[in-house]
């Protein structure tokens, strides 16, 4: 008998924010120096970092719903020391600049922590590490490869088995682990709220419930259209993530992948002891279909991932944010991972859309004569990387030549996904083969061919 149905169908995180910031919608025409479309991490970091660079500029954020109502308020809060979707992805897809990518990813996490300090944002940032766990011999071999890849860059990680693993996480489901000490967690809604409140305190204007419906190059600037008025801006940033891109040419570059989460009731000290999860580190398993899980401040378990669901025609409908088949499946996996928790219940359940790109890394570019910058494609690792994306967009708008703007990973055009029905067919095929690889350790010819063309599918 499943228990997820009794959970509230809404993201848990927003309820943890005291006096969440709100903003009125736009009402009439305005002019500004920088218009930012999107009130998630990308848009809000862009606003704050733009303010640091341009103390007197009029900076405006336009958000079609509530700030953080999309991925930035729905994620697991894993804050990676990476801008490349991990070290292995950097090595596989960007071997020439892997060293720089790895270093910049770690510097970005340090910079994020320092910014939270400077702005006195309490986002429950905890750098307590991450434990990767393996359920099969081939996943354990993958962890050994990961350990070697880290070592190549002088990064220490710890391979764990038997009692050493049980001391971190004691469950019959997993047999090997790799502990990464340099990994953080945040409360994503508190991060959104803190960034927004800081931006407003520094004179950034935010408009919620204001959807930008079009964008026009006026020669000397940009015009953004909304139902409530027009914004004339010298420059614009597009930070709309998984939404249909305002720039038509970017539409084939990302696909919306739904990812779902269950939040457990708070665990007692005895329950935590029974599962051997004593520290505050997050955990993720190592399959292609993987779960990520972490504790909240009051010791609930956030249990997300596994199913990565694509809907024909790149469906993004509101009704797709809940999916009984997936909730049933991930509850079963939870019971399997935590037999010691018996039939503990769930308080919240929700889904969210991941802006998946074919290389699982962001791309940053400009349009309209360099007056518009955009960043998208962070896939499932944007909590920290969006800060880096924001800095890169601002560099590009300023026409600066920096280490960030020179990165091939960010500059090169995204690999386009094919149109329907080929898109759906290819994704289904890849998903079937990825599931088979999880079960058997065998990578199919189809997946190997995609690898050869530097194309991936995942979250
Ligand atoms: C379920 C889930 C779990 C995840 N877990 C993790 C994790 O643990 N760690 C990690 O690193 N990453 C994770 N991610 C990914 C991460 O959340 C995102 O990469 C990140 O939040 C992207 O931030 P963003 O600001 O670019 O996008 P968003 O948060 O999606 O913000 C874009 C905003 O733009 C607005 N918008 C769109 N179009 C318009 C328009 N035309 N006009 C006005 N506003 C518009 C949207 O309403 C939205 O608020 C997860 C994502 C999901 C969905």
Q: What is the mean pLDDT of each run of 10 residues along the chain (459 residues)?
A: 95 96 97 98 98 98 97 98 93 93 98 98 98 94 94 96 92 92 98 98 98 96 97 98 96 96 97 91 93 97 95 96 97 94 97 94 96 96 98 98 95 90 93 92 90 71
Given the structure tokens 């300023």, which residue do they identify? Answer: 398
326 lines ligand 1 (CB under 6 A): no
pLDDT of residue 413: 83
Say whether both 401 and 429 belong to one domain.
no
176 membership: H or E segment, kind and range: strand 176-180
In sequence order, which residues have a C-beta less than 8 Å from that of residue 112 and are 6 or more positions away? 79, 125, 384, 387
Which of 293, 386, 288 has the alpha carbon at shortest distance from 48?
Answer: 386
Query: Does ligand 1 lie within 6 Å of residue 353's CB atom?
Result: yes
* Enclosing domain of residue 303: 1-421
Q: Do 234 and 378 lie in a common domain?
A: yes
Q: What is the pTM of this model?
A: 0.96
Same domain, 14 and 134: yes
Cα-Cα-Cα-Cα dihedral sign, residues 74, 83, 423, 445: negative
Reported in sequence order, the residue ranges of 227-377 that DSSP labels E, i.e. its strands, are 229-238, 255-264, 282-285, 291-295, 301-305, 346-356, 363-367, 372-376
**By alpha-carbon position, which residue is closest to atom 19 of ligand 1?**
382
Answer whether 377 contacts ligand 1 (Cβ < 6 A): no
Closest by alpha carbon to 86, among 314, 247, 286, 275? 286
CA distance 395 to 402: 7
| pLDDT the model gives residue 458 | 60
pLDDT of residue 172: 85
For 39, phi then psi, to 5°, come to: -110, 50
Q: Are residues 336 and 316 in the same domain?
A: yes
Residue 186 class from Cβ within 10 Å (0-12 exposed, 13-18 middle, 19+ buried)? buried
Q: In angstroms, rounded to a whole number, what is the distance separating the alpha carbons of residues 437 and 456?
A: 14
Instruction: Give residue 58 CA to ligand 1 midpoint distance, Å.
Output: 24
Ligand 1 binding pocket includes 211 (Cβ within 6 Å): yes
Substitution site in 22, 49, 71, 236 for ligand 1 pocket (most atoms within 8 Å of beta carbon): 71
Question: Is residue 459 one of the residues assigned to a domain?
Answer: no
pLDDT score at 278: 84
Q: Domain with 161 in it: what CATH number?
A: 3.50.50.60
Ligand 1 touching residue 40 (CB < 6 A): yes
Q: What pLDDT does residue 412 have?
A: 86
Q: Do 191 and 62 fall into the same domain?
A: yes
CA distance 306 to 327: 10
Does 71 reside within a domain? Answer: yes
Mutation test residue for ligand 1: of 383, 389, 391, 410, the one with most atoms within 8 Å of CB: 383
Tally the domains of the chain: 2
Determine the pLDDT at residue 259.
97
Residues 361 and 437 grouped into a single domain:
no
Question: How many other C-beta atoms can be found within 10 angstroms of the C-beta atom of residue 151?
Answer: 11
Give a yes or no: residue 457 inside a domain: no
Residue 264 lies in a domain: yes
> Quick check: is 458 in a domain?
no
- Tell me, yes or no, whether 417 and 432 share the same domain: no
Measure the CA dihedral 130/114/397/101, to 10°.
-40
Q: How far does the centroid of ligand 1 lie from the alpha carbon of residue 162, in Å?
A: 38
pLDDT reported for residue 170: 86
Shared domain for 339 and 433, answered yes or no, is no
Are residues 349 and 444 located together in one domain of the fold?
A: no
Pocket test for ligand 1, best of 23, 65, 68, 72 (most atoms within 8 A of CB): 72
Q: Ligand 1: which residue has its CA nearest to atom 20?
A: 382
Which residue's entry shows tokens 């962001």? 362
Residue 307 Cβ inside 6 Å of ligand 1? The answer reads no
Which DSSP state fits 203?
T
With a 6 A CB cut-off, is 43 part of the ligand 1 pocket?
yes
Q: Which atom of ligand 1 is nearest to the CA of 212?
A: 42
- Does 381 sit in the ligand 1 pocket, CB within 6 Å? yes
């Amino acid at each position: 008998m499943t228990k997820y149905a009794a959970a509230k169908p809404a993201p848990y995180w927003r309820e943890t924010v005291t006096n969440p910031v709100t903003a009125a919608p736009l009402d009439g025409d305005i002019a500004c120096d920088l218009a930012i479309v999107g009130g998630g991490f990308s848009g809000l970091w862009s606003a704050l970092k733009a303010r640091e660079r341009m103390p007197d500029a009029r900076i405006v954020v336009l958000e079609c719903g509530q700030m953080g109502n999309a991925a930035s308020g729905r994620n697991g809060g894993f804050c990676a020391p990476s801008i490349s979707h991990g070290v292995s992805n950097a090595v596989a897809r960007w071997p020439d600049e892997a060293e720089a990518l790895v270093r910049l990813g770690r510097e970005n996490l340090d910079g994020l922590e320092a910014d939270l300090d400077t702005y006195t944002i309490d986002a429950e940032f905890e750098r307590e590490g991450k434990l990767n766990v393996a359920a099969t011999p081939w996943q354990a071999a993958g962890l050994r490869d990961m350990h070697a890849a880290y070592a190549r860059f002088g990064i220490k990680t710890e391979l764990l088995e038997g009692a050493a693993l049980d001391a971190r996480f004691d469950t019959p489901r997993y047999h090997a682990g790799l502990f990464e000490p340099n990994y953080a967690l945040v409360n994503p809604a508190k991060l959104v709220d803190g960034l927004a409140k800081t931006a407003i305190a520094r004179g950034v204007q935010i408009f919620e419930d204001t959807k930008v419906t079009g964008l026009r190059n006026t020669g000397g600037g940009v015009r953004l259209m909304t139902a409530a008025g027009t914004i004339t801006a010298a420059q614009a940033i597009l930070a709309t993530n998984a939404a249909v891109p305002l720039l038509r040419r970017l539409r084939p570059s990302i696909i919306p992948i739904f990812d779902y989460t269950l939040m457990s009731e708070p665990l007692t000290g005895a329950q935590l002891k029974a599962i051997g999860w004593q520290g505050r580190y997050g955990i993720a398993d190592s399959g292609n279909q993987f779960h990520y899980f972490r504790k909240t401040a009051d010791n609930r378990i956030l249990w997300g991932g596994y199913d990565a669901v694509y809907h024909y025609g790149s469906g993004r409908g509101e009704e797709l944010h809940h999916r009984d088949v997936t909730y049933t499946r991930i509850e079963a996996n939870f019971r399997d991972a935590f037999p010691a928790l018996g039939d503990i219940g769930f308080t919240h359940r929700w889904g969210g859309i991941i802006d998946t790109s074919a290389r699982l890394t962001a791309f940053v570019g400009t349009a309209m004569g360099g007056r518009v910058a955009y960043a998208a494609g962070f896939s499932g690792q944007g909590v920290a990387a969006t800060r880096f994306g924001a800095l890169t967009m601002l560099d590009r708008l300023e026409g600066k030549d920096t280490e960030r703007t020179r990165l091939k990973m960010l500059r090169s055009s995204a690999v386009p996904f094919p149109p329907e029905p080929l898109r759906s067919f290819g994704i289904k095929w890849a998903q079937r083969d990825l599931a088979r690889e999880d079960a058997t350790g065998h990578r199919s010819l189809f997946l190997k061919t995609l690898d050869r063309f530097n194309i991936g599918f995942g979250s």
